[in-house]
Amino acid sequence: MQPLGADEPTAVGPYRLLGRLGSGGMGRVYLGRSAGGRTVAVKIVHPHLALDEEFRARFRREVEAARRVGGAWTAPVLDADPEAAVPWVATAYAAGPSLAAAVSSGAGPLPEHTVRVLGAGLAEALAAVHGLGLVHRDVKPSNVLLTVDGPLLIDFGIARAIDGTASLTSTGVSIGSPGYMAPEQILGHGVTGASDVFSLGAVLAYAATGEPPFPGDSSAALLYKVVHEEPVLGASVAGELRELVEACLAKDPTARPAPDELARRLAPEGAARLVAGGWLPGALVAQVGRSAVQLLNLEAAEAREVPSGPVGFSSPSVGEAPGVFGPPPVMVAETPAPANAPTGPTPAYTPAGPVPVPRDAVPGPATPADGARRPGKVSVTMAAGAAPGEGGRGRRLSCSVVLAVAGALAVATLGSTFLFRLLPDGDDDRSAGSDARSAAPSTGSSTAGAGPTALPARYVGTWEGQGSGLGGTLPMGTFRVTLKPADVGDKMGQLRQTDVLGGVCVDVLTLKKVTKKEVVATSVGAASNHAGCNPEPHTIRFTPTGDDLTYRSDSAAEGNPTARMSKAGS
């Protein structure tokens, strides 16, 4: 777990956030605590997804469906707010690393006994999930937690909500994890329970060998191998375990075993009996113990700051909180909540709920002597509208401003998903045909190629300020621009955008035009950006405003962001 950054929220809904557990393609995950003291994992979806009405409608339905999944080998959904400006969901917190973190942190391949228990528990979980008519769609090492009470399968609902969002899939987006997606999922032939079994086979191969069964150095290579090549299984996968893994990884979905059959062959007397006898190697037991101690230390720190009291959840947004902590109970499907979502076209959404508040957006305690910034204690609410676009869809924000996709895809609990393509930029260049002139005479040091086509010295330097989009209704974090002397057609600097969740994208700026009133540039995502950043070129404008610079973007797909920036130094 990582401490909260200076620009990360300190509260979401009724939960106080204590630290960041991880991040992925769908959002960021935080350790939170309710007013009554219950520890939860809170997942906040990326803001650009919140502006897609089809995603929001599916998210609402999938959260309801995910709440039906409870009991053994799964982390129950406790609370959610699909109607918030930035939707979120809270699940039970389990002290223990993800399978991805455990293997990559030095534990390496797991013993065969541990792998069998892992497979049996996850197979039992999938059997119950499929029995409810649900499909997980994103079974992978980072979605499997290792606890002393057994393995837990997490992250239901959000992947399915995105995978079925027409406005995203229609632009070439495919949701899943290369190397763990089933061939039929990659080829777009439909996803069934057999697809989850394929993913489970890949997870077991990873647990037994420490390497994915389809190795590759790029997403394209991984996808090709899953569809066309046989898995690579090491010598450590032998005997019956090898037979089962190979059966799970069959290219033909009908040739794969059913989850209940897989569970029976791995643990004839049930996974719970094997867990009770001890299933984790000593190194992982010690790691789980350290996680528990870390949590106790957080509780001790909170006890010094927050009065205790038996206060329950603050009006859970999706029904009452199911599930309890403790040893894995017998799987019992809950009665689904009454379907109250209207049918037919989704109406335009005008959110008006609590929004994660960046620390630097609200007044907080005085800065301590060591210069470290303390978390703010003030929460605010705001409304962020999504203007209807073509075909009645809400306007969506580009990831280059608000999307935070982690570069380290195997952090703490959740990994990334795979995005084949991003949303189109929709840039409208309205600057063509104007004469280029110098905005101000150069003073001091000369600019490159001084003249009417050179960047005036008044603009040179580093500028920083807070950005917003959609007419100022949506905060977009910190914009930091570094400009250097350049002629029209030359690179003039870069724009670094850090969104409210801490995601960073860098755009390279090329000088396009100079007038007396403004400087116009073309902004293109840097080659080093992660997959969530907007790669499409778009036009931006800088206008002097007193001693500051005002930044404006013509990209409607990004919400036409603006920012007033002050000189921050060279």
Instruction: Give residue-wise pLDDT tens across range 483-517.
Output: 999 999 999 999 998 875 566 889 999 999 999 99
463 or 49, which is more confident: 463
What pLDDT, on the 0 to 100 scale, is given for residue 426? 37
Residue 18 clears pLDDT 50, i.e. is over it: yes
Percent of the chain with pLDDT over 70: 64
Catalytic residues: 138
Binding site for ATP, residues?
43
- Rounded CA-CA distance 456/447 in Å is 7
What pLDDT, on the 0 to 100 scale, is given for residue 483? 94
Q: Find the largest Cα–Cα distance for the chain.
A: 84
405 or 291, which is more confident: 291
> CB count, 10 Å around CB of 177?
25
Q: What is the mean pLDDT of residues 383-411?
A: 35
Q: What is the mean pLDDT of residues 539-544?
A: 95
Report DSSP letters for 177-195, one per residue. -TTTS-HHHHTTS---HHH
What pLDDT, on the 0 to 100 scale, is given for residue 462? 94
What pLDDT, on the 0 to 100 scale, is given for residue 76? 83
For domain 11-307+393-402, give the fold.
Transferase(Phosphotransferase); domain 1 (1.10.510)
User: pLDDT tier at 218 (50, 70, 90 boundaries)?
Assistant: confident
8-state DSSP, 388: B
Report DSSP letters for 282-296, one per residue. HHHHHHHHHHHHHHH
Highest average pLDDT, of 38-42, 394-398, 399-403, comes from: 38-42
The CATH number for 457-569, chosen from 1.10.3720.10, 3.40.1180.10, 3.50.50.60, 2.40.128.20, is 2.40.128.20
Dihedral over alpha carbons 241, 246, 248, 252 (to 10 degrees): -160
What would the pLDDT profile of 297-307 be if each residue is shown by its tens digit?
Answer: 665 555 555 44
Which H helix or E strand runs over 521?
Answer: strand 519-525
Poorest-pLDDT segment among 86-90, 244-248, 263-267: 86-90
User: pLDDT tier at 211 (50, 70, 90 boundaries)?
Assistant: very high
357 or 140, which is more confident: 140
User: pLDDT tier at 194 (50, 70, 90 boundaries)?
Assistant: very high
565 or 410, which is more confident: 565
Residue 536 clears pLDDT 80, i.e. is over it: yes
Q: What is the mean pLDDT of residues 474-485?
A: 86
Structure tokens at 44: 């906040």
- Rounded CA-CA distance 514/452 in Å is 7
CA distances from 37 to 42, 95, 106, 305 (A): 14, 16, 33, 13
Q: What is the mean pLDDT of residues 238-243?
A: 94
- Tell me, letter by letter, the H, E, C secondary structure of 327-372: CCCCCCCCCCCCCCCCCCCCCCCCCCCECCCCHHHCCCCCCCCCCC
Q: What is the mean pLDDT of residues 466-490?
A: 85
Give the closest residue to 44 by CA, choosing from 357, 471, 411, 336: 357
What pLDDT, on the 0 to 100 scale, is given for residue 160? 53
Report DSSP letters for 135-149, one per residue. ------GGGEEEETT
- Rounded CA-CA distance 467/315 in Å is 33
What would the pLDDT profile of 169-185 be if each residue is shown by its tens digit?
Answer: 433 344 557 889 999 99
Q: Boundaries of CATH 1.10.510.10 in the chain?
A: 11-307+393-402
User: pLDDT tier at 7 (50, 70, 90 boundaries)?
Assistant: confident
What pLDDT, on the 0 to 100 scale, is given for residue 75? 83
Give the closest residue to 382 by CA, choosing from 356, 361, 354: 354
Q: Boundaries of CATH 2.40.128.20 in the chain?
A: 457-569
Residue 433 clears pLDDT 70, i.e. is over it: no
pTM for the model? 0.53
Count of residues making up the chain: 570
Query: Roughly what angle, to the nearest 10 degrees, separates helices 259-266 and 239-248?
Result: 170
Residue 375 clears pLDDT 50, i.e. is over it: no
Structure tokens at 32: 């939170």
User: pLDDT tier at 534 (50, 70, 90 boundaries)?
Assistant: confident
Average of per-residue pLDDT values in the chain: 73
3-state class (DSSP) for residue 2: strand
51 or 210, which is more confident: 210
Percent of the chain that is helix, strand, coil (3-state, to 5): 25, 20, 50
> CB count, 10 Å around CB of 367?
10
What would the pLDDT profile of 56-93 be if each residue is shown by its tens digit?
Answer: 888 888 788 788 887 678 888 889 998 888 889 998 88
What pLDDT, on the 0 to 100 scale, is given for residue 322? 40
Percent of the chain with pLDDT over 90: 33
